[in-house]
Amino acid sequence: MENIMNKMRNLDAYPKVNEDFYSRTISGGVITLVSSIFMLMLFFSELRLYLHSVTETKLIVDTSRGERLRINVVAFSFLYSFSIMFDIIFPALPCSILSLDAMDISGEQHLDIKHDIYKKRMDFNGNVIESRRDRIGAPKLDTPLQRHGGKLEHNETYCGSCYGAEASDEECCNSCEDVREAYKKKGWSMSDPDSIDQCKREGFLQRIKDEEGEGCNIYGFLDVNKVAGNFHFAPGKSFQQANMHVHDLLAFQKESFNVSHRINRLAYGDYFPGVVNPLDGVRWTQQTPSGMYQYFLKVVPTVYTDVSEHRIQSNQFSVTEHFKGAEVGRLQTLPGVFFFYELSPIKVTFREEHVSFFHFLTNVCAIVGGILDSFIYHGQKAIRKKMEIGKLN
């Protein structure tokens, strides 16, 4: 114990001076040790702050109207993802009946979008049955029906009938999908696929029955105008009829559609450090026979600039949700999952910056000077007074 006391006494950085000699004390050694530990802790804390960047946040008015916005989405029809990226699972909607549409307040519409959209057929347990780029369905027949009857004339090629929906005499519908596309352009619904020879021969209704109980994972991205609009996932082909957006559901001969979904990812733009997408991982299970699930999103343009001056143009968003069930006696609600978005006029900017070296040096000097003054000088002065009056040996 005496050896430990002597070592502690030798740590005294400010020994007591008596005329021509000085003496070290145990209390001085304890104060020196404690203050040194505090100095090291604060020094490394300040060094860590200096080596890492800090993020400065600013709010400015967004003047970048007229640009494009990418929407990235991933979804399952097991559950349900500028540029909008998405990844969504629908567990009770087969891929063959699920379609994606987008429209905005400028009047631009994109119906039954297939570009940059991918689908995965999934079984009840979530296992992938088939994965391919959108336009999942039966291939065209090698020998489609002929508009002109059974026997080919000289140099005549196969040309299937569009059943009155062709735009010209030269137009051919060599598959069920071609007939449905022609009907969509006319604004017609296809109520009985078995009355269409191409659909009957391809087994359109049989394929729908075979996929009963399957789900669909749909994912990809959309490029849309940087104005308010919506995109939605719904069963059936969409078309315009009397200035109304309509989906052809009669062809599937089903009374209701289950739009339960899980959003794996939904992002308005590229990832940047610290971004939180509030819909990632959201799951909703439908309890009523049919209805429309709506998400209302407020999109805030965001610019992130890192220490190397690399800029990331992206967006953040907040969201509210609402379910609209089918109402008896009124116009039937279109079953589907709808995302309505509008853009904030304010832009958020994040900028990564390093603390300057002179700021770091000033803080280190303040730490050392402050601890030496507070711990050592004043601490030893208080202890010395107590020793002089006999309260501390």
Residue range 14-53, pLDDT digits in tens? 555 554 545 566 666 676 777 777 777 877 777 776 666 6
Q: What is the pLDDT of residues 174-228, one digit of tens each?
A: 888 888 888 888 878 777 788 888 888 888 888 878 888 889 999 998 888 888 9
Q: Is pLDDT above 50 for 341?
A: yes
Q: Is residue 321 pLDDT above 90, yes or no?
A: yes
352 vs 297: CA distance, rounded Å: 28
Q: Tell me which H or E stretch contains 151.
A: none
- The reported pLDDT for the residue numbered 229 is 92
> What is the CA angle 188-214-128, rounded to 5?
120
Task: Tell me: pLDDT of 109 over 80.
Answer: yes
Integer Cα distance of 88 and 281 in angstroms: 9
Cβ-contact 99, 236 below 8 angstroms: yes
The residue with greater pLDDT, 82 or 197, is 197
User: Which helix (DSSP H) or strand (DSSP E) does residue 371 occupy?
Assistant: helix 357-371
Mean pLDDT of 285-313: 87
- 342: which 2 tokens? 């509008």
352 to each of 53, 57, 261, 277, 355, how far by Cα in Å? 6, 9, 37, 21, 10
Q: What is the chain's mean pLDDT, rounded? A: 76
Give pTM, 2 decimals: 0.66
Q: Is the CA virtual torsion 373, 374, 377, 381 positive or negative?
A: positive
Amino acid in position 179: V
246/94 Cα distance (integer angstroms): 20
Q: Is 79 helix (H, G, I), strand (E, B) or coil?
A: coil
Furthest CA-CA distance within the chain: 129
Q: At CA 122, angle to CA 84 and CA 320, rounded to 5?
A: 40
**Domain ranges (residues) in the chain:** 2-53+355-388, 68-134+216-352, 139-202
